[in-house]
A and B are shown apart, each in its own frame.
Chain A
């Protein structure tokens, strides 16, 4: 079983739409959670950390549900520039490892 699972998509949404991505993780001892964005043939860039209480950064909202072991990312009022692959990342102190999901592809259509 993979440590982190994501729906690869693709998600094709019109400008202005709201879109949500989910990610599940298998290890209940996971300690840190992040969403990264990766543009085609570029390096991943940190979008936001995910906290137990949930957190928001402009049009982006991240939630963590430890009981169900899933993380979500909500993007409101989608822009063309939001088109990218969104990677869910989980950090595990044991072995100091970060585990990445396969990424969810988003295309925002004019």
Chain B
């Protein structure tokens, strides 16, 4: 079975631009979460979606938004990019809620110039 897949793998943008990252969960998993990981830190929670609804939100500005589609795939959008948005963006899927472990995709490495 395919694991969590993310695209693109790498992305280079400039300040002020907008970016969309994509994620397909493991088949049968209905929950998708997004994380930001900067070098030397653990992943920071951005969003969790379940059944196309936002179920959790971390401490990120409104420039960050996401959605989940009927097939449970998800997109993360970031507007008005800042240099500080440079990071590894990880998507994780799980069957349902926080009681079950999450499985991560390879991530999208975003660089802002």
Contacts and interface: CB of A to CB of B under 8 A. Distances in A.
Contacts of B31: 96
A19 to B, nearest CB: 19
B97 interface: yes
Interface stretch (A41-49, A52-60, A62-70): A41-49
B90 interface: yes
A57 B104 CA distance: 21
Contact of A96 (B35, B56, B105): B56
A34 B106 contact: no
Interface residues of B, number: 27
Contacts, number: 62
B55 interface: yes
Interface stretch (B13-21, B39-47, B68-76): B39-47
A102 B101 contact: no
Contacts of A87: 42-43
Interface in B77-110: 90, 97-107
Contacts of A92: 98
A6 B104 CA distance: 21
Contact of B103 (A4, A31, A46, A99): A46
B97 A93 contact: yes
B98 A91 contact: yes
Given A43-B105, A91-B98, A97 B48 contact: yes
B104 A97 contact: no
A103 B42 CA distance: 6
Given A43-B90, A46-B103, A91-B99, A96 B50 contact: yes
8 contacts: A31-B98, A31-B99, A42-B106, A96-B48, A96-B97, A97-B48, A98-B45, A100-B44
Interface of A: 4, 6, 31-32, 34, 42-46, 49, 87, 91-93, 95-103
Given A95-B57, A98-B98, 11 more contacts: A34-B101, A43-B107, A44-B104, A87-B42, A91-B99, A96-B56, A98-B102, A99-B45, A100-B43, A100-B44, A102-B40
